[in-house]
């Protein structure tokens, strides 16, 4: 008979044996689960029918853990780079356009300082102040504050608190050089770029001043108040190609106690400074060009992915998750916004209809992504619920978010509503009619609330799915188990991106929030929210991250048979097989492929094979089960043979397809060993039982020239097994050991009272 390889299956401790209390408890528990399962409704029947096939379905099941980890790590790198880029752009939006305007008498030395350049004019007359700020671009919101230093002497006889009352007007022009003296005093809609249109009018606004709180000690006393808090600049254009290019500002003080902010006295003019802050979005031509490249890549990947799914559908049905990936690519394309990528290159602001369409695509893409993230978070329910019950709540949330966003957007484009001609396109929410203002504020708040509802709903679904997957068998639900873990990590990263981006904008807005006009009213809150969402429109970093995430998601959800075992794919292909026949073919193919990979110069330079740690041999499920079955036989004794550590019952090799070749039993060290041959493959297997790792030699058998461990009863838990693996342990006889000696060993000396 030819000499065959010997596989050794070691049984370290009695486990899962007949008569084992743990096994009996587990059997009782399993019986309970079976009874409960039998009583469940059609839902569990559907789940069981779906879970019946254990074969791998997606690539995530077949690639190595190292490969998956590297891909996930790369997405984290992209997250950090993308978020950092967007954060830098956000920071520049809020800090790059702060215009400091002096209050000298008109006709003397009017000057505005922007990056130390005297570019614009501002001056005072008869106690009033006005300024013209020109040459602006891509305005999102504005604010105005006034600061006076050296007020300690003025306020030496002041009361603890007082109020400052004033009027303020803000006008906008589409011409970069301003509109001269052409003012439109009516509120009708116009597209004339050579006329000042009223943005904001504040009448008899009052600011409360607390001397102890608001007057700071630097520069002999400094007082600063907000005249116009952050005000969203409505305009019918995109953030990076705006209409408004110039502003005219006028402030008159009705009541200013103690001559505060009064520019009539030339001696005090030097102490007064107005700061006009503009939040804007600078154009990023390189980023826009890269977004176009991403768009074409995404379209190409979508076509390729659909082709792969169609080809794979001939072998097995397409998974719901794979259909969602197709929708995901389409939504990412909408989010990348083809219309925006065209009109952003216009030398002049685009038509209102084109800008509106651009926002529509962006909001449609984002709302659709919100809906799809809910679907991916709930894979178990898709298998157990009917389609209507599963899809309807997710679609409802997505449609609600989209509808609210579109209503808010429509309010911002009055030119598209011919029934409402009595509102110009740049007018601030503060000056809208009361009914229109309440509607706009209501839908803005609704949009914000829906975003929070989505976030809470998403986390609830993730938690519920995690609990359900814990109760399901792993192998038969492996693709859902793995995809859920991946999604929980990656989608949480996406949520974190949105949360951190919104938090950063809210933080920058709050930096300028001081006591002033309408700081805490609902209108200002609405202005801040719209500033937040408009500033976050078409960010390159977010588009890049969502594109990379879509590609990663699509790769992991590719059909499992896409990666064969040839060429570079051998580094990424299956790390396990089901049957031994498949195992032989896969190992042979991988060995040949890896030899080619190792000899390939390009692969040697890139180190791909080393990176993913590919090996020729792979795990075989049938072989592992086979070894487990033969290992269990070592727990029992042979018929007519009794050992000190054997469990009730006897060895039955025939039922698992084996025949006995030889046996030996070392009484001195309680070592029992079986040598068996598998009838089908003629494979020889050695299985034995033992206990603690105290290595000795058994002198009573010819095979005992190897080191074998001593058997020890009572090792039933994981913690006990870990203790048994400590080689430095020595036996302790607790029955004969004195208490004082025991205390010295365990360090728990008994303290006696004197």
**Digit-coded pLDDT (tens) for 551-565:** 988 988 888 777 654
The per-residue pLDDT for 491 is: 74
The DSSP code for 179 is -
On the question of pLDDT at 83 being above 80, the answer is yes
Reported residue count of the chain is 754
Distance from C-alpha of 632 to C-alpha of 658, rounded to nearest angstrom: 13
Residue of higher predicted confidence among 168 and 8: 168
| DSSP H or E run through 79 | helix 65-95
In the structure encoding, which two tokens stand for residue 306, read together?
Answer: 């659909």
Block residue for tokens 């609600």: 400
Amino acid 28: pLDDT: 52
Dihedrals phi, psi of 560, to nearest 5 degrees: -65, -25
Query: What per-residue confidence (pLDDT) applies to 705?
Result: 34
pLDDT at position 510 is: 65
Do the strands 576-577 and 619-620 form a parallel or antiparallel pair, or are they unpaired?
parallel
Taking the C-alpha atoms of residue 632 and residue 379, their distance in angstroms, rounded to an integer, is 36
Distance separating alpha carbons of residues 403 and 450, to the nearest angstrom: 11
Q: What is the pLDDT of residue 113?
A: 40
Strand partners, 102: 273
Q: Which residues pair with 166 in a beta bridge?
A: 205, 253
Instruction: Determine contact, residues 509/532, Cβ cutoff 8 Å.
Output: yes
Question: How many contiguous H segments (helices) and E segments (strands) does the chain have?
Answer: 21, 20
Task: Read off the pLDDT band of 754 (50, 70, 90).
Answer: very low
588 pLDDT exceeds 80? no
Q: What residues have CB less than 8 Å from 50, skipping those under 6 apart? A: 383
Alpha-carbon distance of 455 to 373, in angstroms, equals 10
Contact partners, residue 283, CB within 8 Å, separation at least 6: 137, 138, 240, 241, 344
pLDDT category at 416 given cuts 50, 70, 90 is confident
State residue 301's pLDDT score.
93
How confident is the model over 420-474, as pLDDT tens digits?
A: 667 788 888 888 888 888 888 888 888 888 888 888 898 888 888 888 888 877 7
pLDDT winner (highest mean) among 418-427, 572-581, 694-703: 418-427
Is the C-alpha dihedral spanning 92, 86, 172, 205 positive or negative?
A: negative
The Cα 659–Cα 683 span in angstroms is 10
Name the token pair of 751. Answer: 């303290």
Position 23 confidence tier, pLDDT thresholds 50, 70, 90: very low
Q: Average pLDDT of the chain? A: 76
Asked whether residue 218 carries a pLDDT value surpassing 60, the answer given is yes
The C-alpha atoms of residue 322 and residue 553 are separated, in whole angstroms, by 10
**Residue 248: CB atoms within 10 Å:** 22
Given a contact cutoff of 8 angstroms between Cβ atoms, the answer to whether 381 and 467 are in contact is no
- Give this prediction's pTM: 0.69
Q: Using the predicted structure, report yes or no on whether residue 693 has a pLDDT greater than 80.
A: no
Give the lowest-confidence range in 289-303, 314-328, 678-692, 710-724.
Answer: 710-724
Q: What is the pLDDT of residue 742?
A: 55
Q: What is the pLDDT of residue 601?
A: 56
Is the pLDDT at 571 greater than 60? The verdict is no
CA distances from 377 to 41, 88, 239, 360, 380 (A): 23, 31, 33, 26, 9
SS3 assignment, position 115:
coil
Query: Does residue 20 contact residue 649 with C-beta atoms inside 8 Å?
Result: no
Each residue of 319-370: pLDDT tens digit? 888 899 999 999 999 999 999 999 988 888 888 899 999 999 999 999 999 9
Query: How much is the pLDDT for 1?
Result: 31
Please, which pLDDT band fits residue 480 given cuts at 50, 70 and 90? confident
- pLDDT tens-digit profile of 274-305? 899 898 888 888 899 999 999 999 999 999 99
Lowest mean pLDDT among 246-250, 278-282, 728-732: 728-732
pLDDT at 82 over 60: yes
Question: Mean pLDDT over residues 703-715, rounded?
Answer: 36
Alpha helices by DSSP H, listed for 162-243, are 211-214
Residue 207, pLDDT > 90, answer no
Other beta carbons within 10 angstroms of residue 503's beta carbon come to: 10
273, 100 in Cβ contact below 8 A? yes
The DSSP 8-state label assigned to residue 562 in this structure reads S
Which tokens is 434 given?
Answer: 């009361």
Average pLDDT, integer, range 573-585: 73
Alpha-carbon distance of 269 to 434, in angstroms, equals: 39
Contacts of 126 (CB under 8 A, 6+ apart): 264
Q: Give the pLDDT of residue 547.
A: 92
Residue 710 has pLDDT above 50, yes or no: no
Task: Assess whether pLDDT exceeds 90 at residue 177.
Answer: no
Angle between helix 352-376 and 434-471 (nearest 10): 30
Residue 502: pLDDT band by 50, 70, 90 thresholds?
confident
pLDDT at 2 over 50: no
First and final C-alpha spacing in the chain: 80
All structural domains of the chain: 6-53+621-691 (no CATH), 59-90+286-423+433-556 (1.20.1070), 99-280 (2.60.120), 567-611 (no CATH)
pLDDT of residue 298: 94
Ranges of H-type helices in 607-652: 608-612, 621-633
């Amino acid at each position: 008979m030819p000499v065959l390889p010997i596989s050794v299956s070691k049984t370290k401790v009695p486990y899962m044996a007949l008569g084992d209390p743990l096994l009996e408890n587990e059997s009782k528990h399993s019986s309970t689960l079976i009874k409960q399962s039998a009583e469940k409704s059609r839902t569990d029947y559907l789940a069981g029918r779906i879970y019946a096939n254990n074969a791998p379905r997606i690539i995530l099941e077949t690639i190595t853990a190292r490969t998956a980890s590297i891909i996930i790590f790369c997405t984290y790198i992209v997250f950090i780079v993308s978020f950092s880029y967007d954060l830098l752009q956000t920071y520049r939006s809020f800090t790059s356009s702060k215009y400091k305007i002096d209050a000298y008498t008109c006709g003397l030395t009017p000057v505005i300082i922007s990056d130390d350049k005297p570019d614009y004019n501002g001056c005072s007359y008869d106690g009033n102040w006005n300024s013209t700020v020109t040459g602006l671009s891509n305005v999102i919101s504005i604010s105005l504050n006034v600061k006076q230093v050296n007020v300690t002497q003025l306020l030496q006889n002041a009361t603890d608190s007082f109020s400052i009352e004033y009027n303020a007007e803000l006008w906008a022009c589409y011409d970069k050089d301003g509109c001269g003296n052409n003012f439109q005093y009516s509120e009708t809609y116009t597209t004339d770029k050579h006329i000042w249109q009223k943005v904001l009018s504040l009448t008899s606004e009052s600011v409360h001043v607390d001397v102890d709180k608001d007057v700071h000690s630097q520069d002999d006393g400094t007082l600063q108040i907000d005249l116009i808090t952050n005000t969203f600049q409505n305009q019918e254009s995109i953030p990076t190609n705006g209409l408004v290019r110039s502003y005219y500002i006028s402030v008159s003080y009705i009541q200013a106690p103690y001559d505060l902010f009064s520019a009539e006295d030339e001696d005090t003019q030097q102490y007064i400074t107005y700061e006009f802050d503009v939040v804007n979005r600078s154009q990023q031509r390189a980023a826009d060009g890269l977004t176009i490249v991403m768009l074409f890549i995404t379209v190409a990947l979508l076509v390729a992915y659909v082709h792969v799914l169609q080809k794979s559908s001939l072998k097995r049905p397409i998974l719901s998750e794979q259909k969602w990936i197709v929708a995901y690519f389409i939504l990412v394309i909408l989010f990348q916004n083809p219309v925006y990528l065209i009109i952003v290159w216009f030398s002049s602001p685009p038509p209102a209809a084109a800008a509106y369409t651009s926002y529509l695509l962006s909001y449609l893409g984002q709302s659709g992504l919100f809906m799809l993230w809910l679907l991916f978070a709930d894979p178990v329910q898709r298998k157990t619920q009917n389609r209507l019950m599963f899809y309807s709540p997710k679609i409802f949330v997505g449609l609600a978010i989209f509808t609210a966003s579109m209503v808010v957007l429509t309010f911002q484009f009055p030119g598209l509503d011919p029934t409402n001609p009595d509102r110009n396109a740049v007018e601030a929410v503060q000056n809208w009619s009361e009914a229109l203002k309440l509607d706009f504020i209501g839908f803005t708040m609704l949009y914000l609330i829906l975003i929070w509802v989505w976030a809470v709903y998403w986390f609830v679904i993730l938690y519920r799915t995690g609990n359900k997957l814990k109760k399901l068998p792993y192998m038969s639900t492996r693709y859902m188990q793995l995809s859920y873990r991946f999604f929980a990590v990656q989608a949480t990263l996406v949520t974190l991106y949105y949360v951190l981006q919104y938090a950063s904008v809210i933080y920058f807005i709050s930096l300028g929030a001081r006591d002033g006009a309408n700081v805490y009213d609902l209108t200002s809150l609405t202005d801040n929210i719209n500033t937040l969402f408009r500033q976050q429109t078409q960010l390159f970093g977010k588009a890049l991250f969502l594109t990379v995430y879509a590609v990663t998601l699509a790769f992991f959800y590719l059909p499992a048979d896409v990666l064969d075992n040839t060429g570079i794919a051998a580094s990424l292909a299956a790390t396990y097989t089901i049957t031994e026949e498949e195992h032989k073919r896969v190992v042979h193919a991988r060995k040949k492929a890896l030899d080619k990979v190792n000899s390939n110069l390009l692969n040697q330079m890139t180190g791909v094979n080393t990176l993913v740690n590919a090996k020729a041999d792979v795990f075989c499920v049938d072989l592992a089960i086979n070894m487990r079955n033969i290992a269990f036989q070592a727990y029992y004794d042979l018929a007519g043979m009794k050992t000190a550590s054997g469990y009730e019952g006897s060895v039955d090799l025939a039922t698992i397809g084996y025949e006995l070749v030889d046996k030996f039993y070392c009484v001195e060290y309680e070592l029992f060993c079986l040598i068996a041959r598998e009838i089908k493959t003629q494979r020889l297997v050695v299985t034995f039982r033992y206990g603690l790792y105290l290595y000795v030699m058994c002198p009573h058998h010819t095979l005992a020239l190897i080191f074998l461990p001593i058997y020890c009863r009572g090792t039933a838990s994981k913690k006990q097994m870990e203790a048994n693996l400590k080689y430095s342990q020595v036996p302790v006889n607790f029955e004969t050991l004195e208490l004082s000696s025991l205390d010295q060993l365990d360090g728990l000396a008994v303290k006696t009272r004197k």
